Structure 1
Amino acid sequence: MDTSEAHDNVDVQGAEAEATQSSTLSGQTPSPRKPNWALLEEAVQMKTEGNAFYREKNLRSAIRRYHSALLILRGLDSEMMSCVKALGQVLLPLSPEQETLLRNTQVDVYNNLAACLLQKEGVNYARVKEYSLRVLQWQPHNVKALYRAGVATLELGDAQTAKEYFTQAFKEQPHDVNVKKYLQKAEERLNQELQKEKAMYRGMFCSGNGVHNQHESGD
């Protein structure tokens, strides 16, 4: 894996922590924090640029922009309050409109990151599932996240859970061709697993009967 490839798979939270540690060790005083609206605009701009790269099939650059957007959004998320206080900065509360924009942008970025990863060679299905599940925490009925979580889960070997994701996605969007196809694929995989299990038990039963008959017939 080259250095640019490694950058694509960077852990966003780890990158943020590393930047924080670097600033602390250097003895630098944190720079004044931008207003919430300015940070949100910056995050949306990063997402927009990422979308443009995605349409151009430039997945690497798209992923980088999406990661940049997430770094900004993490600093605005109320769940990061303790981290921000540790830096000696005050996190001003978001207005209801800003909170909505924050969540919607997070949802879009995580969904788009999952879409990017699914198109790369050597797909990291665990990461696709992770991003999709983050979306579902905020929007349990998000069809794109349900579908991608299902695809990743199926590829990771859990056909039953994958079927549950696809079934929910089908309820939300019954005419989606891809959802229908993968729901059928999950059901076929489950049927194959069931047939294998039945064959295994039949083999065990027949083997047991053979041993039992040998004992009955004597030496």
Structure 2
Amino acid sequence: MVALVRDDERDGFEDLLGSGGIFRKMLRTNADGAQVEFGEEVTIRYSEKVLESNVTVTSEETRTLRIGDGEAMPALELVAKMMRVGEACEVRCDPRFAYGDVGREPKVPPGAAMKLQVELLRVGKKSTAEMTSAELIAEANKKKESGNRYFQEKNYEQAAKLYKRALKLLESWEHAPEEEAACKELLVSLGNNVGNVQFRLRQFAEARQSSLEVLQLDPRNAKAMYRVAQIGLEQSDFTEGIEFAQRAAALEPKNAAVRQLLKDLKKKKQQVKQEQKRLYAKLGGASATGGSTAALGGPDGAAQSRLVRAAKANPSLVAALVTLVIAGLVYQFVGKRYNDMG
């Protein structure tokens, strides 16, 4: 990996962490400027370049974020926390404190070190506890937008954190009746976003719960129904999956993704059913030939046939039968030999 700071340019750069991960060089100082405290809102102007290729990613962008909420890359947030209003600096950081192993398509490749120029424009002293209803909704929307940026960068863990922080803001807020519609709309949107990232992280139980919570707020939300159906497909819960896919299709009959998901659920259900039939047939064949279970002193003849029929009626019995066969084989080839040696 390219060196963050070459030997011939080390003058003026300081190692902020002491580990070589983030270097800063002050371009302008302001001893009288307001300092930033944890949890405060700041407005910055910044530019980004890929250090090795010098490709410009962001140029003179103004952005507002709250320190400590993880709304920006770690290097940017840390540097902003250490500045005063009116100050400017250059920053070099390794991938851990920028876009990591994922990168940011199409300009930032995976594992790229970054070069930033940052200026602190403003510090907002107002905490979320002091905000008006309109300001809280705006704050939650900002966190949602930050989460969306992380989602586009495929940083799903960080996206989920931002969505959940926005949800927490709204859930703890005692809104007035006239604000209920706006609050509900944002809660539903955030809940769907959380369920989406949890699904992509294969956190299926959490994604299902998030989607069901959305449906408590909005019983006709097709996105949440679609997500539950997707989880049903992933976990072979065809009863629930087909039910929710059909409900979503009834609400959005022209939605191609919903129609395809319903087809996939029915197809996979049939495939699993055929696989079960083949397994039952093998079990039935063993009983017909007086095979291994009889040799193990287990049931034979009509008794085995009854077990197979019961297994067809209750698939959970299949696992018990397989366990019985394996246990018998272990005894026959290991336990019996041990007893003979005794």
TM-score (norm 1): 0.64
Tell me the CA shift for residue 159 of structure 1: 1.1
**Structure-2 residue corresponding to 1:41:** 138
What secondary structure is seen at the aligned counterpart in 2 of 1:57?
coil
User: Compared with structure 1, are the counterparts of its residues 70 and 197 closer, same or farther at alpha carbon in structure 2 (3 Å cutoff)?
Assistant: same
Match of 1:183, as an amino acid? Answer: L
Residue 228 of structure 2 aligns with which residue? Answer: 149
Structure number with higher relative contact order (C-alpha < 8 Å, ≥ 6 residues apart): 1
1:114 aligns with 2:195: yes
Quickly say closer, same or farther: Cα 1:203–1:56, change in 2 above 3 A. closer
Structure 2 regions of 5+ residues with no counterpart? 1-69, 71-127, 291-300, 303-342
Q: Distance in 2 between matches of 1:200 and 1:62?
A: 43
Structure 1 residue 55 corresponds to structure 2 residue 136: no
Per-residue CA distance 1:14-73 (angstroms, 9 max, x = gap): xxxxxxxxxxxxxxxxx9653333222211221122223323434333222112101101
For the structure 1 residues 188 and 99, does the alpha-carbon distance in structure 2 shift closer, same or farther, using more than 3 Å as the test?
same
Verify: 1:72 aligned to 2:160, yes or no.
no
Instruction: Tell me the distance in 1 between the aligned counterparts of 2:281 and 2:139.
Output: 62
Distance 1:141 1:68 in 2: 25
Does the CA-based 8 Å contact 1:50-1:63 persist in structure 2? yes
Equivalent residue, structure 2, for 1:187: 266
TM-score relative to the length of structure 2: 0.43
Deviation at 1:209, TM superposition (A): 10
Structure with larger Rg: 2
Work out whether residues 160 and 190 of structure 1, in 8 Å CA contact, stay in contact via their aligned partners in 2.
Answer: no
Aligned length: 166
Q: Is the 8 A contact 1:43 1:72 kept in 2?
A: yes
TM-superposition CA deviations, 1:167-186 (whole Å, max 9, x none): 11111222323222221111
Does residue 105 of the first structure (1) align with residue 202 of the second (2)?
no
Taking the aligned partners of 1:48 and 1:32, their CA distance within structure 2 comes to 21
Residue of structure 1 equivalent to 2:66: none
Give the stretch that moved more between structures: 138-147 or 52-61. Answer: 52-61
* Deviation, structure 1 residue 200: 5.6
Secondary structure of the 2:191 match is helix
Equivalent residue runs for 1:138-217 within 5 Å: 138-199=217-278, 207=287, 211-212=301-302
Contact 2:236 2:269 in 1 (8 A): no
CA distance in 2, matches of 1:60, 1:203: 45
Partner amino acid for 1:163?
I
Call closer, same or farther: CA 1:112–1:202 in 2, change over 3 Å: same
**Equivalences for 1:118-133 in 2 at 5 Å?**
118-120=199-201, 123-133=202-212
Structure with bigger strand share is: 2
Instruction: Give the aligned CA root-mean-square deviation in angstroms.
Output: 2.9
Distance 1:97 1:204 in 2: 65
Structure 1 stretches lacking a partner, 5+ long: 1-7, 9-30, 77-90, 213-219
Q: Percent identity?
A: 28
Deviation at 1:119, TM superposition (A): 3.1
Looking at secondary structure, tell me which structure has more helix per residue.
Answer: 1
CA displacement, residues 180-218 of structure 1 (integer Å, 9 cap, x when unaligned):
222111112222343345556666667479724xxxxxx
Question: For structure 1, which segment, 160-169 or 202-211, has the greater mean C-alpha deviation from structure 2 after superposition?
Answer: 202-211
Counterpart secondary structure, 1:164 = helix
